[in-house]
Amino acid sequence: MAGSDWGHQSWFQFESWRCHWRCTGASDRPALVLLHGFGASSGHWRDNAEALAAAGYRVYAMDLLGFGQSDQPGGRLDNRLWSRQLQCFLEQVVGQPAVVVGNSLGSLVGLTTAVFRPELVVAVAAAPLPDPTLLTPVPLRRSPWSRRWQRWLVLLVSRCLPLGLLVAVLRQKPLLRMGLASAYANGERIDGELVQLIRWPASRSSAGRALGAMVRGMALRPARATAPQLLTRLQQPMLLLWGRRDRLVPPVIAQRVVQQAPAGLVHLHWFEELGHCPHDEAPEIFNNALIAWLKQQSPTR
């Protein structure tokens, strides 16, 4: 097994940034794109990609800007920009509409792309779907004074906080393992390979700058780019994969996702003993659930 170093790896250009991607599986198969969560990278699909390729897919994954081996820009990073990165990847590299499978942040990017460019996305699998606005929705219209005040506060906080120092502290192995323990219900999967996969991007000199860009971007995005508004506009089928023991994104949010999407479009599948990263905690169980749902979407495959 190649582990986190799986697949053929290469680069593509998105606007002024260099982005890392990888793939495996026969080139004439339907496309499936894997999107990692916050702090992770394409290597996090270490025990999923080959199984999905064996099930009959050409499996791709890319590092979102700010993570993995992709560039770590400043400015603002939010799900709209990551979605544009995915759109570029689908058009330039994949070359055909794809199933998009996300973990955490990657799920929000997949949903955003399915809504903004529906012709590029066949279906979405979200494991799970995080967005604070699913608990407290952002009003569609806010007063100009309220928007200015929020923008001023976010910019002040993001520029005054020593984010580079914060990243340097958090990437220390004991703290990193504590953070992973909150995300993983199955602690046996927190091995040296996983720790290094998370730790290496945080060790880059531009990591603090990228974190500031994420703080600004996600806090200042408009209501139309939040999950509650995106879900109402979803057209493709969605599989929602959720661990009952997820301590980072409460399982109660899963029901809100189902309620806010068009009726009958979202299928919710529970993993009773898993946490926030079901694809890596129990890859065989995750792969089987995903493949079974994909077969239901395409009975002739």
DSSP string for 198-222: HHHHHTSTTHHHHHHHHHHHHHH--
What's the confidence (pLDDT) of residue 301? Answer: 40
Q: What does the alpha-carbon distance between residue 44 and residue 7 come to, in Å, rounded to a whole number? A: 12
Residue 266's beta-bridge partner residues? 238
Q: Report which secondary-structure segment, H or E, holds 267.
A: strand 266-271
For residue 100, name the pLDDT band (cuts at 50, 70, 90).
very high
Encode 37-56: b = buried (16+ Cβ within 10 Å), e = exposed: bbbbbbbbbbbbbbbbbebb
**Which CATH number describes the domain made up of 3-297?**
3.40.50.1820
Helices and strands, counts by H and E, the chain: 12, 8
64, HSE (Cβ side, Cα atoms, 13 Å): 30
For residue 173, name the pLDDT band (cuts at 50, 70, 90).
confident
- What is the crossing angle of helices 173-183 and 192-202, to 10°? 110
pLDDT for residue 99 is more than 70 = yes
pLDDT for residue 143 is more than 80 = no
In percent, how much of the chain has pLDDT > 90?
73
Q: What does the alpha-carbon distance between residue 230 and residue 130 come to, in Å, rounded to a whole number? A: 13
What's the confidence (pLDDT) of residue 297? Answer: 87
More confident residue, 195 or 169: 195
Q: What is the mean pLDDT of residues 133-141?
A: 72
Cα dist. 189→7, 138, 179 in Å?
21, 36, 13
- Domain spans, the chain: 3-297
Of 117-121, 208-212, 234-238, minimum mean pLDDT range: 208-212
Alpha-carbon Rg of the chain, whole angstroms? Answer: 18
What's the confidence (pLDDT) of residue 137? Answer: 67
| Ranges assigned E (strand) in 4-78 | 8-14, 17-24, 31-35, 58-62
- What is the crossing angle of helices 163-170 and 173-183, to 10°? 80
pLDDT for residue 151 is more than 60 = no
For residue 174, name the pLDDT band (cuts at 50, 70, 90).
confident
Residue from 13, 272, 279 nearest 126 by CA = 279
Residue 100's beta-bridge partner residues? 33, 124
What's the confidence (pLDDT) of residue 298? Answer: 67
* Residue-wise pLDDT tens digits, 254-283: 999 999 999 999 999 999 999 999 999 999
